[in-house]
Amino acid sequence: MTDSKFVDNSAELKAALEQQAAHNTKVDALLKLTREQDLAAAKRVIKQHGFIAKDLAPELKQTRGGTRAVTPRKSTAGRKAKAR
């Protein structure tokens, strides 16, 4: 008793996974190539304008990536009441 609606997609899945692996390899190669080209362009611009590390530091500064919630300061009223 086989279900006529059941379709075996394993061959199609295998082909799709192979295509995905090939595309991932191509994307990685292109990213590496563009990174090298961008680095060369950055070096050329730095040399052209005579930038030094101090000039570039604010631009390269790592940020925390979001706004932090500020916690309110604790009141000293509770500590004063306990001290009495």
pLDDT at 2 over 80: no
Q: In whole angstroms, how far apart are CA 39 and each of 20, 35, 81? A: 28, 6, 62
Would you state the pLDDT for residue 24?
Answer: 95
- Kindly indicate the confidence band of residue 82, based on its pLDDT and cuts at 50, 70 and 90: low
Specify the pTM.
Answer: 0.47
The 10s digit of each residue's pLDDT in 32-75 is 999 999 999 999 999 999 999 898 888 888 776 656 666 667 77
Would you state the pLDDT for residue 1?
Answer: 47
Alpha carbons 42 and 48: distance in angstroms, whole number: 10
Alpha carbons 35 and 29: distance in angstroms, whole number: 10
